[in-house]
A = this chain, B = another copy of it.
Amino acid sequence: MEHVTNNMRRRLLATASGAVAWAGLGGTAWADSQEPASQSNPQPVSTQKPLPPYAQWKDADSLIVHSANTIETQRAAVGAGGITPLDKLFIRNNVSPPAEAIMADPDAWTLEVKGVKNPRSFTLAELKTLGIASVAMVLQCSGNGRAYFPHKPSGTQWTTGAAGCVVFTGLPIKELLKAVGGAGDGAKFITGTGGEAIPAGIDPNTVMVERSVPLDVMDDAMLAWEINGEPLPLAHGGPLRLVVPGYTGVNSVKYIKQLALTQEMSPARIQQSSYRYSAVGEKPKPDDEVVWVMPPKSWIIDPLPDGKTPKAGRVMVTGVAMGGDSAPAKIEVSLDGGKKWHEAAFVGPDLGKYAWRTFALIAELPAGEHELVSRVTNAQGETQPEERRENNRGYNNNSWRDHGVKVKVA
């Protein structure tokens, strides 16, 4: 981990020159870029790809730019503080974000609310007078850890960094429902629709970002307009985003323009066939399980193979641990690839059950190579498994073995 002011100075120079480079391209060069195809080498490689225009303010030195819509936090860039600084937070858009113009007057953004007793639309300014709450939560792409699947699933080859822990502030869905007379009859899902433009002549279901989550997330889900104390930027779904704590990121619909309580799941492809646990090598079937809740997961953040080589003796091993949809309750570290486990200590403030916690273990390490792995157990007693859950598109890899590191000690 490098010193922040050096990082920031380099960032300033990097993004300043990046901005110049982009200026000549009119900001459109990334507009139709797609996720890169599966790569033969799943390890992150140093990349000189510039940040896309809408993410120029990010800390390039802490990130891996896979594409304009897929930007990962470097494993070594996560600190022990618990909250991920916004300029280091990953980005993943399913399609290109709407034009920056939607951020000109955030309070004028309009949300349609349907499937309730009294359907109506609200401006964001109106929503802000109905209630307010905050939640600290892990935001994690469903495909985080995909790079470790041996069958090379298509999609971005995320390692550990399509995840962060942030504080969202906004209107609890349950408060919104009070203002519209409650749910309509037979409602089973909360279905959010993103504000991305749908090109003419295309079946909207094939591209629109519309996701359904079970109605029982209502107690904790919210419509967020702030992240880490800042107005929610376009890069993270501003002006308004549905956030569903405990669920993978795709379920937290960005630029939300419609929130409907529905009896059925969305007909959109992103609901019906993408983001399903399908068998490896097979097309998704209608009854394949939907990717919703995150499983417990942890990984080491220091020391790392490409970081400073620790000296033999006492070495502080640190990492992050999340419980999924319940709190991280116990964290263990192994220094020998999983043969023997040691309970580590949680570090940092307890930010609630949906947040991750950093952890630390002081280890005595002799010179040589050591395989450091970690596994978390959540409050429901579910332990991070050794093996990943195999699935065709490589979702929710939480294998502790896949996330281990081999570190040399001098």
A293 CB-CB contact with B under 8 Å:
no
- The reply to whether A79 and B169 contact each other, CB–CB distance below 8 Å, is yes
- The reply to whether B169 and A129 contact each other, CB–CB distance below 8 Å, is no
Stretch of A143-151, A209-217, A344-352 at the chain-chain interface: A344-352
Q: Which of A331-385 contact B (CB under 8 A)?
A: 347-349, 351-352, 355, 358, 360, 362
A409 CB-CB contact with B under 8 Å:
no
- The reply to whether B8 and A347 contact each other, CB–CB distance below 8 Å, is no
Given contacts A57-B5, A233-B4, contact A347 B133 (CB under 8 A): yes
User: 1/0 contact trace for A77-104 toward B, CB 8 Å?
Assistant: 0111111111000000000000010010
Closest to A360 in B: B132
User: 1/0 contact trace for A216-238 toward B, CB 8 Å?
Assistant: 00000000001111111111001
**Cα A228 to Cα B78 with chains together (Å):** 10
Interface residues on A, range: 35 or more
- The reply to whether A1 and B231 contact each other, CB–CB distance below 8 Å, is yes
**Cα A81 to Cα B243 with chains together (Å):** 15
Closest to A235 in B: B5
Stretch of A29-37, A253-261, A262-270, A308-316 at the chain-chain interface: A308-316
Q: Please give the distance in Å from A74's CB to the nearest CB on chain B.
A: 13
Stretch of A9-17, A42-50, A111-119 at the chain-chain interface: A9-17
Q: How many copies does the complex hold?
A: 2
Say which residue of B8, B12, B134 sits within 8 Å of A348 (CB atoms).
B134
Given contacts A12-B19, A134-B347, contact A78 B229 (CB under 8 A): yes
Closest to A17 in B: B16
**Cα A308 to Cα B136 with chains together (Å):** 28
**Cα A134 to Cα B346 with chains together (Å):** 10
- The reply to whether A85 and B82 contact each other, CB–CB distance below 8 Å, is no
- The reply to whether B134 and A358 contact each other, CB–CB distance below 8 Å, is yes
- The reply to whether A82 and B167 contact each other, CB–CB distance below 8 Å, is yes
Say which residue of B54, B79, B230, B235 sits within 8 Å of A228 (CB atoms).
B79
Say which residue of B19, B81, B167 sits within 8 Å of A169 (CB atoms).
B81
Given contacts A12-B56, A12-B57, A129-B313, contact A2 B231 (CB under 8 A): yes
A326 CB-CB contact with B under 8 Å:
no
- The reply to whether A128 and B229 contact each other, CB–CB distance below 8 Å, is no
Q: Please give the distance in Å from A216's CB to the nearest CB on chain B.
A: 22
- The reply to whether A362 and B129 contact each other, CB–CB distance below 8 Å, is yes
A131 CB-CB contact with B under 8 Å:
yes
User: 6 nearest interchain CB pairs?
Assistant: A79-B229, A81-B229, A8-B57, A134-B348, A129-B314, A81-B167
Please list 23 pairs of residues, one from A and one from B, whose beta carbons are closer than 8 Å in the complex, sorted by A's number: A3-B106, A3-B233, A4-B231, A4-B233, A4-B238, A5-B54, A6-B103, A9-B57, A12-B16, A12-B19, A79-B229, A79-B231, A80-B226, A81-B167, A81-B227, A83-B83, A125-B311, A129-B314, A132-B316, A132-B360, A134-B358, A136-B349, A349-B351
Given contacts A5-B238, A16-B16, A107-B308, 16 further A-B contacts (CB under 8 A): A1-B231, A2-B231, A4-B232, A5-B103, A5-B233, A5-B235, A11-B57, A12-B12, A12-B57, A79-B231, A80-B226, A82-B134, A83-B83, A85-B229, A131-B362, A349-B349
